[in-house]
Amino acid sequence: MRVVFRLYAKFREQFGTSRVELDLEDGATVMDALGELFHGDVPKGLMVAVNDRLVEDLNTKLREGDVVDVMPPASGG
Amino acid sequence: MRASLVESIGSPDRIVEELKKASDRVGAVCLFIGVVRSTSPLGRVVRLEYEAHEKLAEETLRKILKEVCEAHGVIDGVIEHKVGRASVGEPVMCVAVASEHREEAFRAVRELVERVKAETPIWKKEVAEAGERWVEETRREPLLLRLRGLIEVEVHEPMTARELVERLGMKPGEVLVMRKRAVLRWDDLLGEGDLVKVVPPDLATAGG
């Protein structure tokens, strides 16, 4: 299944793009997807949303066409 | 009650007027404004650049405002947070509440500021004379508990103030440790038989 990642702030700069598409195995979880995206070295503390909803449980299963927002820890203020 | 991302922070006078109109029960308006400071590990700051996941950031700001206003019983509140470029001295965040009395207003504003910074998907890049960096805040783990009043503790073995707080399931900074009327530093050593108070920061000056 194909999943779209939207990258924010430092991740956008690290990847040199704000959007990445990856093919994942059916039944892949958010954590599986992040592992693919970061080649196994998933940064700590990142914020993740799936289809514009924040996800706390990284074992949440993804579906074809899901949009996964990958965001650094908040640093506003 | 409103919370939003803005290109520039509104006039404090206007926000105070807005909050005063919320109810004739309002007896206190407390307002915090964060501004861009000139100092950074990279030398003199040229500007900050704020980026947000706009949809989630506004949803998060509204959720935080509603929860905190309800928790502290304040009457009304406003959060504005800037996105885009900000120069030194420019206001970048305004948190304001109106309440019947000052105590709940102080507590609500403090919690709002901390939660906005820790939970809202907004990021800032610091552009300074010697380079630029995305500012990294240490992510706050979910609180195990929140201290609402002071507790008195008798220490039975030597430990630092930091160890004491961590053994109680809290974190340095979320509470203060006081011995008599003095606030301890985190590395200060406590001895057997010491009597100390663990105090929420907003109560630390309320009579020690």
The residue type found at A28 is A
Walk along chain B (208 residues) and give the pLDDT tens digit of each residue: 999 999 999 999 999 999 999 999 999 999 999 999 999 888 899 999 999 999 999 999 999 999 999 999 999 999 999 999 999 999 999 999 999 999 999 999 999 999 999 999 999 999 999 899 999 865 555 566 778 888 999 999 999 998 899 888 888 778 889 998 888 988 889 999 999 999 987 776 544 3
Nearest-by-CA chain A residue for B113: A77
- Rg of chain A over Cα atoms, rounded to whole angstroms, equals 12
Give pLDDT tens digits for B36-81. Answer: 999 988 889 999 999 999 999 999 999 999 999 999 999 999 999 9
B181 or A7, which is more confident?
A: A7
**Contact of A3 with A22, CB cutoff 8 Å:** yes
Kindly report the CATH class assigned to A2-71. Answer: alpha beta
Concatenated DSSP letters of A26-72? TT-BHHHHHHHHTTT-PPTT-EEEETTEE-S-TTPBP-TT-EEEEEP
pLDDT at B202: 72
Res B206: pLDDT:
43
**Residue among B51, B118, B119 whose CB faces A9 most closely:** B51
Percent of chain A with pLDDT over 90: 96
Using an 8 Å CB-CB cutoff, list chain B residues near A11. Answer: none
Q: What's the whole-number mean pLDDT along residues A12-32?
A: 96
Q: How many cross-chain Cβ pairs, A to B, lie less than 8 Å apart?
A: 70
Do the strands A67-71 and A2-7 form a parallel or antiparallel pair, or are they unpaired? parallel
Domain ranges of chain B: 2-134, 151-203
Element of type H or E holding B117:
helix B102-119
- Best to test chain B binding among A70, A71, A75 (most B CBs inside 10 Å): A75
Q: Identify all chain A residues contacting B135, using CB atoms and an 8 Å cutoff.
A: 75
Numbered residues of chain B with Cβ closer than 8 Å to any chain A Cβ = 34, 50-53, 55-57, 60, 81, 92-93, 113, 116-125, 134-139
Domain locations along chain A: 2-71
How far is residue B117's CA from residue B155's CA, in Å, rounded to a whole number? 34
Q: Quote the tokens at residue B191.
A: 């001895």
The residue in chain B having the minimum alpha-carbon distance to the alpha carbon of residue A56 is: B142
Model pLDDT, residue A10 = 96
Chain A nearest-CA distance from B36, in A, is: 9
**pLDDT for B136:** 82
Instruction: Give the model's pLDDT for residue B148.
Output: 82
Whether the complex's predicted ipTM surpasses the cut of 0.85? yes
- For residue range A23-65, what is the model confidence (pLDDT) as tens digits? 999 999 999 999 999 999 999 889 999 999 999 899 999 999 9
The reported pLDDT for the residue numbered B16 is 97
CATH superfamily of B2-134: Molybdopterin biosynthesis MoaE subunit (3.90.1170.40)
Neighbours of B173 (CB within 10 A): 12
Q: Does A35 lie at the interface with B, CB-CB under 8 angstroms?
A: no
What single-letter amino acid sits at B47? R
Q: Where are the beta strands (DSSP E) in B41-175?
A: 45-52, 76-82, 84-87, 91-99, 122-128, 131-134, 151-154, 159-160
Burial zone of B75 (CB within 10 Å; 0-12 exposed, 13-18 middle, 19+ buried): buried
| pLDDT for position B89 | 97
Best mutation target among B54, B56, B117, B136 (most A Cβ atoms within 10 Å) is B56
